[in-house]
Amino acid sequence: MEDLSPAIIVATAAFIAGIVFGAVTNRTNFCTMGSISDIVFMGNLGRFRAWMLAIAVAVLGTQFLHAGEFIDIYQAPFLSPSLGWLGSILGGLLFGFGMAMAGGCGNKTLVRIGGGNLKSVVVFLVLGLVGYMTMRGLTGLFRVEVIEATNAALPVSQGIPDLLTLAGLDLATARWIVTGVVAGGLLIFCFKDAEFRTSPNNLAAGLILGAMIPVGWWITGVLGYDDFEPLPLTSFTFVRPSGDSLQYLMTFTGATINFGIAVVGGVILGSFLVAVSTKTFALESFTDADDMTRHLVGAALMGFGGVVAMGCTIGQGITGISTLSLGSLLALISIVLGCACGMKYLEEGSLCGALKALLAKE
């Protein structure tokens, strides 16, 4: 281990963590888009509670790691004093709408690739391409000149506990108050439901996938820590790493693997292993041109929106929220609303019809 560079150590651990993440997601049918669909069309909150349980576990784990000084979450990209409110809202809405079109978020796309879904291969390629374009290419100009130009400068970090210090609260006190309210409230929401308490799949998904977020922080912040080769503090997210993965594959001899790239490969392999072991691996392709068009548009919206919002349903919706970031909260709410609108769009056939259906009183 002493002969290995921090980057290789982190990538190896991330690959293993990705295998666990992909295997659990496949085995438990954890799906953030599916959880929103269950609510919109069936009024079922089971999988949504699994998502919320994952957030609660991630918040508790992340905050304890920070309090124990194992990591400094202010080194993560979610807590800058510049609030990208427009990026979080617009990017979140576009990502949410796009994942409804494409049949799943970035994580689910990778899981479906492992299960033999050829449509998801196309979604991954387009999502990664547009995501990379938005980071460093043509659409990146719009992100920098329009979206980021509206960022609001704050006197403190955009962490909700930090913002509460402006009202006179001590930061440590504010942090544990917010942690208790968020994690405690979500745990009550989840476990008050008897059906959820007796659902092994939802419980396993929420507990294990939520715990993987602080594991990611630990891998990059503790296992990979090196004064001479500092690595960015990060955890699970899937839009930017998809673009990085494509770039890595194309320039392998001159590229360096990182946490996100290794996780992408691990998730696909983990899902594949479960699909093969459960005999659910099956090739699936587009049914017609409309099906392909819908997936292409959805993938492009996810790639652009995910980068602009600085994350996806996992990257912002769990990892970002675990830092108690206001920007992550805005992105999460926007993603949920965008996905719900996308679901209704598919049902109604028009954006106006979708909005009317969402706003209609039952």
Whole-model pTM? 0.95
Taking only Cα atoms into account, the Rg of the chain, rounded to an integer number of angstroms, comes to 20
Domain spans in the chain, listed from the N-terminal domain onward: 6-357
Q: What are 324-351's pLDDT values in tens digits?
A: 999 999 999 999 999 999 999 999 988 8
Q: Which pLDDT score is estimated for 4?
A: 80
Report the run of H or E that residue 152 belongs to, with start and end. strand 152-153
**Which residue stretches of the chain have pLDDT < 50?**
362
Report the run of H or E that residue 153 belongs to, with start and end. strand 152-153
Report the run of H or E that residue 83 belongs to, with start and end. strand 82-83
Between the alpha carbon of residue 116 and those of residues 165, 240, 289, the distances in Å are 50, 23, 20
Q: Which pLDDT score is estimated for 1?
A: 52
Q: Which pLDDT score is estimated for 81?
A: 95
Q: Which pLDDT score is estimated for 353?
A: 87
Q: In whole angstroms, what is the distance from residue 7 CA to residue 229 CA?
A: 8
Q: Which pLDDT score is estimated for 271?
A: 98
Q: Which pLDDT score is estimated for 358?
A: 84
Q: Which pLDDT score is estimated for 361?
A: 52
Would you state the structure tokens that stand for residue 210, as one six-digit string? 């939520």
Please identify which residue in the block is written with the tokens 């609260």.
Answer: 169
Q: Which pLDDT score is estimated for 356?
A: 87
Q: Which pLDDT score is estimated for 354?
A: 86
Assess contact for 342 and 349: CB atoms under 8 A. no
Assess contact for 210 and 55: CB atoms under 8 A. yes
DSSP string for residues in 286-350: -SSHHHHHHHHHHHHHHHHHHHHTT--TTIIIIIIGGGTBHHHHHHHHHHHHHHHHHHHHHHHSS
Ramachandran quadrant class, 281 (left: phi over 0; alpha: psi -120 to 50; beta: rest): beta
